[in-house]
Amino acid sequence: MSRLLLAPMEGLLDDVLRDVLTRVGGYDLAVSEFIRVSGTLLPQRSFVRVCPELARSGRTRAGTPLVVQLLGSDPNCLADNAGQLSRLAPAGIDLNFGCPAAKVNRHGGGATLLADPEQLFRIASSVRRAVPAGMPFSAKMRLGVRDTSRTLECARALADGGVDSLVVHARTRAEGYRPPAHWEWVARICEVVAQPVAANGDVWTIADYRRCRAVSGCRDVMLGRGAVADPFLARNIRRVMAGEDDDGEVDRSADWQELLPLLASYWQQVCAKVAPQHAPGRLKLWLAALRPNFAGAAALFLAIRPLRTVDEVNQRLWQHGVLAAAGDGRPPDAG
């Protein structure tokens, strides 16, 4: 059985957006944005702050299991924190060797560790000993730092270190998110490790999903930016794979109407979570991602782009039918 995984995306795909996307459906599990581990044992509240799902048996409100991702470079510190995290019973623990961000890599975390397969092995084997038997333990990696010269060595190091599964973002750190994703390299990794491998990168459509699986040879696929840009992608893939739909045109007007109350829920949760001055920016960020697929999102983005306050955004959301679709009381006073 093929699985669809919802990717972590630092700064965007947090617990609020996970809630919305998993309510649409189609995902077998989600992976949290990374929790940085740097020299100290984090209290349990630090994990719950990033992943409130841990207070709900490690699942989103829709019931999707959540794997919690750790980022760091010290084997012992990561192991100690993995042990601490395991007491909260997440659906799994994942290690980040894929983040390409310079601020992360400067401190020895994320994709920069792919230059040192021996360190990958030390980290994985140390964390493996701390993660209880029966709790899934995984890692996410890229193809390398600047090239693919050590790709297979890195994959073997993580496999030998004891991970149960791998997710591979099919680009190097230097390539960032520039297309194309090199799914053929994921196929090569599958040839040298016994563990299940999931492919990640550049899956925006059902056709992309089919090509990714064909080229990579993977049954499991992780969706990231494609899921944020099209909240219905996973559900539509499920329907096509089950033979319920063909690959024809998607009715985006119907999808937009279904998305309106989810946008309202997203906005309300963001307002409750972040400082008022930051809330409009979060909504703009998601609407910008939605624009290529939804004309309504493009119009709404243009309408709220110059706005700076929560009250101003509320006015526009009422005018565009977003808050009305959620049945959220009465519109604010236009005066």
Q: Answer yes or no: are the C-beta atoms of 226 and 204 closer than 8 Å.
A: yes
User: Does the annotation place 200 within a ligand binding site?
Assistant: yes
User: Does the annotation place 315 within a ligand binding site?
Assistant: no
Catalytic residue among 51, 99, 190, 271: 99
User: Does the annotation place 239 within a ligand binding site?
Assistant: no
DSSP per residue over 28-52, as a string? SEEEPPPEE--SS---HHHHHHH-G
Rg for the chain, CA atoms, rounded: 20
User: Does the annotation place 201 within a ligand binding site?
Assistant: yes
How far apart, in whole angstroms, are the C-alpha atoms of residue 312 and residue 132? 49
Q: Answer yes or no: are the C-beta atoms of 216 and 190 closer than 8 Å.
A: yes
Question: Quick check: bond before 276 cis, omega within 30?
Answer: no
Name the nearest CA neighbour of 171 among 203, 193, 196.
Answer: 203
Name the nearest CA neighbour of 229 among 198, 252, 211.
Answer: 252
Name the nearest CA neighbour of 288 among 271, 275, 276, 305.
Answer: 305
122 contacts: CB under 8 Å, gap ≥ 6: 75, 161
Structure tokens at 114: 């792919």
Active site residue 154: no
User: Does the annotation place 169 within a ligand binding site?
Assistant: yes
Structure tokens at 134: 């029966």
How far apart, in whole angstroms, are the C-alpha atoms of residue 50 and residue 32? 8
User: Does the annotation place 202 within a ligand binding site?
Assistant: yes
Which residue numbers belong to the known binding site? 69, 140, 169, 200-202, 224-225
Give the active site residues.
99
Which residue numbers belong to the known binding site for FMN? 69, 140, 169, 200-202, 224-225
